[in-house]
Structure 1
Amino acid sequence: MTSRQPTDFQSIPAIDIGPLFAADETARRAVAEELATAARDVGFFYVVNHGISEARQNALFEQTQRFFDLPYDDKMRYYIGKSDNHRGYVPAGEEAPDPTKADAKEAFDLSFELPADHPEVVAGTPMLGANVWPDLDGFADDVYAYYQDVFDVGRALMRGFEHALGLEYDALLGHVTEPPSQLRLIHYPFDPNATDAQGIGAHTDYECFTLLRPTAPGLEVMNGAGEWVDVPYRDDALVVNIGDMLEIWTNGAFVATSHRVRKVAEERYSFPLFFAADYHTEVAPLPELIAEGDTPRYEPLAAGDHLWAQTIQTFNYLKKRLAAGEIALPDGARGAGSLGQHARHKDEAG
């Protein structure tokens, strides 16, 4: 299979994924083909009929608003820099995908729950373990229930990608059992002076793909010509984009597409689930996806180490720990933003 670049698209497709959860094999395969076409040609798409109830989503919204409405000092009780596995509150300015600009947002980060006696937690594997939960009634239950629902949608999508790529059962999903798949609760405060202001800088996502539930417009994606294309808000859909790991697994057939948040004058919430592979997974171009006579376009990548390295290079508290010698970048760490369309266009311009 030869690699393809995204087209010069001007909009992103919407795909009804209901058949992925049903018994009709023909319908499932048809949806899988739609997913793969979108992943190759665009790298972004909406999914509708995803099965996450409106009640579940509303509970998530309400709990998130309750937390971000707390006084700053109360939120800082759960500051991510106090954690040992990168979970908790992220104040404005803490994260900088583009180091020349501070992101105008705050966030709360959580991930797949593992108990303290789990072997990976005992071993000190980065980014694994228990979540940090605010002392708010119902917060943990409502937020983690949404996490489990959207994680299940991610599993269905990964199965669909396996089918469309002609891979054996569990060729991809078999590497997703206890992953550092992070859910972020993101808040962009109202700012009447935020005309054309940056909310999150241009970047690709580090994991396999992302499932995003926003509450307002603001997202833009980069097409194959390097142009920024608006992603209109839909309250009935999740927005899915391909990330670094799936780009590598597919040898570039799917491309991690750069995106950013712009023009966020209105208050906005955003809920991305970054669907990752298990920490110790080696992600390399799959032999089945390399055309005869071709060579792999990517070197193997250690899934967890890549995620950890990119995180270290993005968060200020981790940059300080790195400079102080308290932590180290994993061997073979790639530079921040080294994959995806944004990196390709920067390389061409340079």
Structure 2
Amino acid sequence: MTTSSIPDIDLTPLLTRTDHAAERAAGEQMRSAITTVGPFTISGALPEPDLLHAVDRATRAFFAQPFDARMAVHIDRSKYHRGFAPLGEEHGGTDHNEVYELAQDLPAGCGRDPMAGPNQWPDLDGFREPVEKYFAHMLTVARAVFRGLAIAMDEAPDYFDPHLRQPSTAMRLLHYPHYPPGDRDRTLPACHEHTDYECFTILRASSPGLEQRTVDGEWVATPPVPGRLAVTLGQLMEVWTNGEFPATTHRVRQSTGGRCSWPVFCTVDYWTPVAPRPQFVSDARPARAPVIAGQHLWSQTAEAFSYLDDRVQAGHVSFTGQVHDPARGRQVPRH
């Protein structure tokens, strides 16, 4: 299979919501793409070029800072898993990338979602405004993809709307740096083979490197295509469809150093119950175990990041939306 074999879906009808027949056609195309190929791309969803260039500049400026400046917003300084994660911080140091992570910028203690709160913004001119604007745009794109997925699942187009009031969707600025000459870690993958925890991921990248596995088990290189965004399904969508829409296994191989990418990990509200819909359950395909969306995401994230797993083990944070108050010696809700 070649990159040109990956289906592309025009998201315009799902963004504008003015032509119900065109929306339904887009949703049906999405179902066909997922069940016959797996990964797909979307078009008609990118913001204006000036914003894309500004985000690219901001990303490269952030990672070009001295290490101490990046560490000033280290992710361990945040109660809400926001900020910079250096090489080796995630997955036990198995990948060769560094991360800046953000989500909706909300007041501290704004709800029962342990991941809802303020971002850690670096002291860097020209950074926050374009990154926030891009993320806001991608939240709108995500709602359109959710609308298409609902149609693909034979649900009403607005099926996911009640679960998108304060979604735990996050965005990453990812940097895959050059290997220093003679570096012993040159054998590390840029990002190991995995599936994402959320409903789906929307990805833009500066250069090739992404590889995705199709439903037939074939790996296909998927370099960036002008005007398109890559979409991979995640674990929650696999649960919702009882395996009919499987999570997309993907990886990133090292290519040219200095690669950047901007994945947006799209999901629902923290306390959303996720269980197989009846149309995907039969005697031959029993229902998979249900999960709570945020608890699944939170627990998987804690396993991936050593600093967060340490907090869990120490009882400083739990998946039930509570944190430990050392002064009182008990669990207190985050609101």
**Percent of aligned pairs with the same amino acid:** 40
1:290 & 1:280 partners in 2: Cα distance? 23
Corresponding residue number in structure 1 for 2:129 = 141
1:264 & 1:169 partners in 2: Cα distance? 39
SS state of the match for residue 224, structure 2? coil
Corresponding residue number in structure 2 for 1:80 = 75
Corresponding residue number in structure 2 for 1:218 = 209
Matches within 5 A, 1:108-127: 108-116=100-108, 118-120=110-112, 125-127=113-115
- Structure 1 residue 329: Cα displacement: 6.1
TM-score, with normalisation over the residues of structure 1?
Answer: 0.84
Inter-CA distance 258–146: structure 2 relative to 1 (3 Å threshold): same
- Is 240-249 or 261-270 further displaced after alignment? 261-270
Q: Is the 8 A contact 1:191 1:267 kept in 2?
A: no
Corresponding residue number in structure 2 for 1:28 = 23
SS state of the match for residue 247, structure 2? coil
- Structure 1 residue 197: Cα displacement: 4.5
Matches within 5 A, 1:225-240: 225-240=216-231
1:25-47 superposed Cα distances (whole Å, 9 cap, x missing partner): 22221111111111222321111
Corresponding residue number in structure 1 for 2:9 = 15
Return the letter of the residue paired with 2:289. Answer: E
Q: Is the 8 A contact 2:87 2:97 kept in 1?
A: yes
2:155 & 2:216 partners in 1: Cα distance? 30
Corresponding residue number in structure 1 for 2:152 = 164
Q: Is the 8 A contact 1:217 1:233 kept in 2?
A: yes
SS state of the match for residue 313, structure 1? helix
- Structure 1 residue 117: Cα displacement: 5.4
Q: Which residue, 70, 84, 92 being the options, matches 1:89?
A: 84
Inter-CA distance 187–302: structure 2 relative to 1 (3 Å threshold): same
Return the letter of the residue paired with 2:155. Answer: L
TM-score, with normalisation over the residues of structure 2?
Answer: 0.87
Inter-CA distance 128–117: structure 2 relative to 1 (3 Å threshold): closer
2:254 & 2:187 partners in 1: Cα distance? 4
1:298 aligns with 2:288: yes
1:242-279 superposed Cα distances (whole Å, 9 cap, x missing partner): 10111111111110011000123331000000001100
Return the letter of the residue paired with 1:92. Answer: L
Q: Which residue, 36, 53, 57 being the options, matches 1:58?
A: 53
2:169 & 2:61 partners in 1: Cα distance? 24
Matches within 5 A, 1:272-287: 272-287=263-278
Return the letter of the residue paired with 2:103. Answer: S
Count matched residues: 316
SS state of the match for residue 190, structure 1? coil
- Structure 1 residue 296: Cα displacement: 3.8
Corresponding residue number in structure 2 for 1:106 = 98
- Which 5+ residue runs of structure 2 have no aligned equivalent? 322-335
2:49 & 2:159 partners in 1: Cα distance? 33
- Is 159-168 or 256-265 further displaced after alignment? 159-168
- Is 69-78 or 32-41 further displaced after alignment? 32-41
- Structure 1 residue 189: Cα displacement: 0.9
CA RMSD of aligned residues (A): 2.3
- Which 5+ residue runs of structure 1 have no aligned equivalent? 1-7, 332-350
Matches within 5 A, 1:235-250: 235-250=226-241
Q: Is the 8 A contact 1:175 1:278 kept in 2?
A: yes
- Structure 1 residue 167: Cα displacement: 0.8
